[in-house]
Structure 1
Amino acid sequence: MFTFFKQKASNLYPGYFALVMATGALSIGTYLLGMVLIAKLLFWINVAAYLSLWLLNMIRLFSYFPGMAADLTSHTIGPGFFTWVAGTSMFGCQLIIVTNHYQMATYLWGLAILLWLVIMYTFFSAVTIRQDKPAIAEGINGAWLIVAVATHSISILGTLLSPHIERGQGVVLFSTLCMYFLGCMLYLNIITLIFYRFMFVKLEHSALTPPYWINMGAVAITTLAGSSLILHAAEWPLLVEITPFLKGFTLFFWIMGTWWIPLMLILMIWRHLYHRYPMTYDPQFWGMAFPLAMYTTSTYQLSKALRVPFLTVIPRFMIYIALAAWIFIFFGMLHHMLFKKHGDGSSASITM
C-alpha cells in the first residue's frame, strides 16, 4: 500500500489542491442556494480529497524533496503550489459555512498564512534571481494568478472568522483588508503580462491550458473577498468609512470577471472543436472547475453586499454549469486513476 502511495506521490502535480478549491467553492455555492444535501456531500468528498493530498504531498516532500524543490522554483510549475494555500483556506471557509465549525477553521487559517509566507517568498525569490529565465511565452500562464487567489482566500477566511474572535478583532480585519488589496495588486500586475501574452505573442492552441480560466476565477474570488468585507463592515469603523470605495472596487472586479467568460468559452471552442484538441483528463482541468464555482458563489454574495437582488439570477443558473463541469472532471479523474496504465506516455508532471 505504501509503495502505491509513494508511486503516486513521486510525480504529483503541485497544483492538485485546485480539486479542493473547486469542491469547496461549489459546496459553498450550493449551500447558499439552498442545495444543502449536495453541499454536505461535496464537503465529505473534500475532507477525503484534502487529507489524501496532504498525505501524498508529505510523502513527496520526504521521499522526493529535490523534485519538489525544483518544481517550486520553476516559472511554469511553481505557481501551482499556491493551490496549497487557497485549498486550505477554501476548506476552512467550507467548514464555517457548511458545518459551522470555527475552531478547526481557525487552525486552517493559521496554516494557510504559514504556507503563504513560505511559498510566496521562496517562489518569487527563486524566479527573480535565477539566471536561465524563460521567455514570456513559455514562462507565464494562467496558473500564475493563483498567487492572487491564495492571497484573497486568506482574506475571506479571516473575515469569516472575525465575528468569533474575542480579542484583536480589529487586527484581524485590518490584516484581511490588507490581504484583499495585496491580492488586487498581484492580480493587476500578473493579468497585464497574461493579456500581453494573449494579444502580442503567438498562442498555439495546445498552450491554451485550463488554468487560463483562472483569468476569470481570480477576479471572482476578488469579488468574494470584497463582498465579505462589505458584509462584515459593521464590525470595524474603518470598514464602514471605506465601504463606498470597497463597493465600487469589488463591482469593478466582478465586471472584469464577467467579461472574461465569453472570451474563454470562444477560446475553448477554438481549441477543442476547431483544432480538435483531445479533451482527456488532466488535473489542470480543476483550474477550470474552480473559476466556474467561484463565479457562482461570488456573484451571489455580491448581490447581498450591494443589495441588488436581481443579480441572483446569474448564480441560480450558473450553479448547474459549475456542477456539470465538476461532475465531468471528477469522473474523468476517477477513470484516469482506476484505468490509466502505468507508463502510457502521459506527462509525469500531471499524473496522480
Structure 2
Amino acid sequence: MDRAMEVRNLYPGYFAMVMATGICSIALRDLERVALSAVLLVVAVVGFAVLCAALLWRIVRYPRLVLTDLGAADRAFAFFTFVAACDVLCARFARDGYRSFAITLAVLGAAAWLGLTYTIPVRLILGPRPQPVLASVNGTWFIWVVGTQSVAVSAAVLDRDEAGQVSAAALLAVLMWSVGVVLYLVVATLVLTRLLLLEVRPEDLTPPYWVTMGATAITVLAAAQILAMPPSPAVTTTRPVVGGLAVVLWAFGSWLIPLLVAFGVWRHGLNRVRLTYLPALWSIVFPLGMYAVASMHLGKAAGLPLIGQIGRAWTAVAVAAWLLVFAAMCRALLGSARRAVRRAS
C-alpha cells in the first residue's frame, strides 16, 4: 500500500478529508440539497471511523512515531484536524437534530483540543531543537486556529438548541472564539516571518497554506454562530466586536484567495512541481467549503445579503474541488491495492 495510506506512516492531518467532506455536506444542506448532503455525510462518517481506527492502531503499535510527529514543528499541528473533524461532524449532526451524538463529538473534540493545545507548544518550546523552530513553520500551524474555532462553533450550535436558557456553552463559544482570533494573529506573524526571512522553495508552499484562508473562514463562521445565539451576558457584551471582526476577517480571507492561487501557479506552473494526490490536498478543499458556509451564515447574521449570495455561489467551487480530490484519492488507493496484489502474487 502507498506510504501515504500505511498506518505506520499515517499523515497526522488526514482528518482534513473528514473536515472537507463534512463542511461540503453542511453547505449543500444549507442550500437544501438534502440528498447530496446526506451522501457526503455518509462518506464523512465512514472516513472518520476508518481514520480513527488507523490512528488508534498507530498509537498502540507505533507510539514512538506518534510522539515524533507530536514533536515535529512541521507536522505536529496537523493533529488538530482530528479536533476540527469532530466539531464539523458535530455541527452537521446538530442540524439534523441528533443532539446526543453531536454532544459526544463535541466533548471528544474539546478533550483532544485541550490535550493538543498544551502538549504541542510545550514540546516545541522545551524539547530538543536540532534546528530553529522557525524554519519548520508552515501552513499546518493555522490548523491550530481551525481546531480552536471549531470548538467555538460546536459550543454555539449546541447552545442554540437550548432556546431560552443561558448555558455555559455561550461563554465557552465566546472565549474560544477570542482565543482563536489571538492565535490567528500569532500564527500569521510567525508564518509571514518565516516566508520573508528564509528562502521559499517550490516544495515549501504545500497545500496546507490554504488553511491561512480556512482559518479566517471558520473564525467568521464561529462569529456568525455567536451572533445568532440567544441573548446572554457573554454574547451581548461582545456582539459589536464579534460582528465587526467577522466582516474584517471575511474581507481579508477573500483577499487571500487570489494570493494563494498565485502561489499554486508559481509552484506547479512555473517551477513544474508535479501535481499528484497527497492527503494534504484536503487542506485546500476544506477552506473552500468553509468559505462558502461562513459567507452564507455571515450574510444572514449580519444582514449582508451580497456576502450570502457569494457563499451560495462558492459552494459549487467547493463541491467541484471535493469531487476532484476524492476521485484522485480513490485512484491512488486503487493503484496502491493493485501494487499490493502484484507484490503478493
| TM-score band w.r.t. shorter chain | over 0.9
Consecutive unaligned residues of structure 1, counting only runs of 5 or more, are: 345-352
Cα distance in 1 for partners of 2:74, 2:170 equals 33
Between the aligned partners of 1:11 and 1:165, the Cα distance in structure 2 is 43
Give the superposition deviation at 1:341: 7.0
Given residue 8 of structure 2, which amino acid in structure 1 is its aligned partner?
S
Of residues 329, 346, 349, the one that matches 2:325 is: 329
TM-aligned CA deviation for residue 165 of structure 1: 4.5
CA distance in 1, matches of 2:265, 2:161: 46
C-alpha contact 1:127 1:133 (8 A) present in aligned 2: no
Report how far residue 171 of structure 1 moved: 1.5
Report SS of the residue matched to 1:9.
coil
SS of alignment partner, residue 15 of structure 1: coil
- Contact kept? 1:272, 1:279, Cα under 8 Å: yes
AA paired with 2:251? Answer: I
- 1:322: Cα distance to partner? 0.7
Residues 31 and 335 from structure 1, CA distance in 2 versus in 1: closer, same or farther, beyond 3 angstroms? same
CA distance in 1, matches of 2:77, 2:165: 32
Letter of the 2:29 partner, please give it: Y
| Alignment partner, residue 349 of structure 1 | none
Q: Does 2:216 match 1:219? A: yes
Distance in 2, matches of 1:60 and 1:136, equals 26
Paired AA for residue 136 in structure 2: G
AA paired with 1:331? A
SS at match of 2:6: helix
Structure 1: how far apart are the matches of 2:152 and 2:30? 19
Q: Which amino acid aligns with 2:305?
A: P
Partner of 2:85: 87
Which stretch of structure 1 is more off in the superposition, 167-176 or 16-25?
Answer: 167-176
What does 1:89-108 align with in structure 2 at a 5 Å threshold?
A: 89-97=87-95, 99-108=96-105
Secondary structure at 1:13 match in 2: coil
One-letter code aligned to 1:281: Y
Q: Distance in 1 between matches of 2:146 and 2:164?
A: 28
Is the 2:170–2:234 Cα contact (8 Å) retained in structure 1? no
Q: 2:200 aligns with which of 190, 196, 203?
A: 203
Q: Quick one: distance in 2 between partners of 1:73 and 1:215?
A: 22
In 2, Cα distance between equivalents of 1:231 and 1:166: 11
2:142 corresponds to which residue? 145
Q: How much does 1:205 deviate?
A: 1.1
Q: Which residue of 1 aligns with 2:33?
A: 35
Partner of 2:21: 23
Shift of 1:277: 1.1
User: What residue in structure 2 maps to residue 265 of structure 1?
Assistant: 261
Q: Which residue of 2 aligns with 1:293?
A: 289
Which residue of structure 2 aligns with residue 127 of structure 1?
124
* Matching residue's letter, 2:287: P
Contact kept? 2:20, 2:285, Cα under 8 Å = yes
CA distance in 1, matches of 2:270, 2:328: 22
| 2:316 is the alignment partner of 1:339 | no
More off after superposition, 163-172 vs 292-301 = 163-172
Q: Structure 1 stretch 115-124 or stretch 236-245: which is displaced more?
A: 236-245
Give, in whole Å, the separation in 2 of the partners of 1:24 and 1:161.
17
Q: Provide the C-alpha distance between the structure 1 equivalents of 2:275 and 2:291, rounded to a whole number of angstroms.
A: 23
1:254 aligns with 2:250: yes
Is the Cα–Cα contact under 8 Å of residues 73 and 133 in structure 2 kept in the other structure? no
1:342: how far off? Answer: 9.1
RMSD: 2.1
Mapped contact 1:136–1:197 kept (Cα < 8 A): no
- The structure-2 alpha-carbon separation of the partners of 1:324 and 1:215, relative to structure 1 and needing over 3 Å to count, comes to same
Query: CA-to-partner distance for each residue in 1:320-342, whole Å, 9 max, x for gaps?
Result: 11111111111111111110379
Number of the residue aligned with 2:300: 304
Q: Using the TM superposition, give the Cα deviation of residue 316 of structure 1 relative to its aligned residue in structure 2, in angstroms.
A: 2.5
Letter in 2 for 1:12: L
Supply the distance in 1 between the matched residues of 2:17 and 2:107 (Cα, whole angstroms).
21
How far apart are the structure 1 equivalents of 2:104 and 2:184?
27
- For normalisation by structure 1, the TM-score amounts to 0.91
Moved more, 243-252 or 206-215: 243-252
Which residue of the other structure, out of 54, 57, 62, is the alignment partner of 1:56?
Answer: 54
Q: Which amino acid aligns with 2:20?
A: A
Q: State the secondary structure of the residue aligned to 1:279.
A: coil
What is the aligned-residue identity percentage? 30
For residue 259 of structure 1, report the CA deviation from its aligned partner. Answer: 1.1
Q: With the length of structure 2 as denominator, give the TM-score of the two structures.
A: 0.93
| Conserved? CA contact 2:174–2:234, under 8 Å | no
**Alpha-carbon separation, structure 2, partners of 1:251 and 1:134:** 39
Partners of 1:309 and 1:332 lie apart in 2 by: 35
**For residues 249-292 of structure 1, what are the alpha-carbon distances to aligned partners after superposition, in whole Å with 9 as ceiling and x for unaligned?**
11111111111101001111111111121110000001111000
Q: Deviations over 1:20-73 (max 9, x none)?
A: 111111111111122222111100001100100001111111111111111111
Q: Is the 8 A contact 1:14 1:77 kept in 2?
A: yes
